[in-house]
Amino acid sequence: MSEKAKYIDVKNKLKAWIVEGKIKPGEKIHSENEMVKMFGFSRHTIRQAVGELVHEGWLYREQGSGTFCTNRAGQSTMRRPRKNIGVITTYISDYIFPSIIRGIESYLSSQGYSLIMASTDNDIEREKHCLLNMLDKDIDGLIVEPTKSSNYNPNINYYLNLEQNGIPYLMINQYYSELNPPHIIIDDELGGFLATDHLIEYGHEKIVGIFKSDDLQGVSRLKGFINAFRNSGLAFFSDMVITYTTENREQKILEELKSVLNSPNRPTGIVCYNDEIALKVLNVFRELQLSVPEDISIVGYDDSHLAEASEVKLTTITHPKMKLGIDSAKWIISKIEGKNSENLEHSTIYKPELIIRNSTKDMQKKKRGEIIE
């Protein structure tokens, strides 16, 4: 490990201990000698890390007494607005995120605010580092897309630290239910219902759903999928659902989907977690020489650019990407500047809609003897 990497490691660990409450405001930190033993690094490395934290306001020195943890919450009201807004997303350049970010940036720039971007790659540890870096940059507000939101998040302390320091934050697309934070989301349960109900109305009875299980969006879309079966009275079986996580996406989906498609009781319709997964499913169909929608129908989600990227134009569920970005930026600036902040909604939930293209087949037409063009 280089000398620079060593002092950054010490610095980040000390900051994490402060945010997590392991070092409390006004409490004296370990001496240089103690930290040399703790970290196994040189005195110079420890001194450089502590010195930067003093300069950045995380720590303060008292002559003859030692180095102490600053009460940053007490200083929050003295912060001068810098007009910096942090944005943390799971991904930056992939899928629907560029449209959301463009929406955020367009409104922020029109109001004289700057955007500071970070990406977690849907990894909890990376989210922790993103939050620490945002706290370093004296942001005035934060817009966050949570990481693995269906599980307990060990970074809750960092969000509570934002609250204690008077820094407003807003969660988008999903949220951590433990915090019940302000959020702007899609009614994903309704979206999952609409996608599934569409196939049921088209006469499909054996429908498979593919859903992500480590985020709240996937869990909600699965709820909608199940509710559509309840509503129709169709039988529901456990093998009609394929779930996956961020880490096992590629292998698990391909293996389970091929098994389902090669079974005697092959489904006639598939509901996908999003359009990106739908395209991967289309590749499996091509490999197995299945035609869409003649042999099998498929529904995506998000109405992304991918929905019309292949020869099969996907039936999908809408996602107001640009609007969500703009509305998020408006909310955070109103909160910072106090403009009608008492009237700000704690949560905004958009209603999704179904967009029908040529990836789904109406099985009822065949039963009625109608000509299918």
What number does CATH give the domain 81-185+322-348? 3.40.50.2300
What pLDDT does residue 250 have? 77
What pLDDT does residue 73 have? 62
What pLDDT does residue 364 have? 81
What number does CATH give the domain 188-319+355-364? 3.40.50.2300
What pLDDT does residue 76 have? 47
3 state SS for the chain: CCHHHHHHHHHHHHHHHHHCCCCCCCCECCCHHHHHHHHCCCHHHHHHHHHHHHHCCCEEEECCCEEEECCHHHHHHHCCCCCEEEEEECCCCCCCHHHHHHHHHHHHHHCCCEEEEEECCCCHHHHHHHHHHHHHCCCCEEEECCCCCCCCCCCHHHHHHHHHCCCCEEEECCCCCCCCCCEEEECHHHHHHHHHHHHHHCCCCCEEEEEECCCHHHHHHHHHHHHHHHHHCCCCCHHHEEEECCCCHHHHHHHHHHHHHCCCCCCCEEEECCHHHHHHHHHHHHHCCCCCCCCCEEECCECCHHHHCCCCCCEEEECCHHHHHHHHHHHHHHHHHCCCHHHCCCEEEECCCEECCCCCCCHHHHHHCCCCC
| Sequence ranges of the chain with CATH classification 3.40.50.2300 | 81-185+322-348, 188-319+355-364
| Sequence ranges of the chain with CATH classification 1.10.10.10 | 3-70
CATH says 3-70 is which class?
Answer: mainly alpha
Q: What is the mean pLDDT of each run of 10 residues along the chain (373 residues)?
A: 81 86 88 90 91 85 87 55 89 91 96 95 94 87 96 92 91 95 98 98 96 96 97 90 90 89 92 96 95 97 96 97 97 89 86 98 72 47
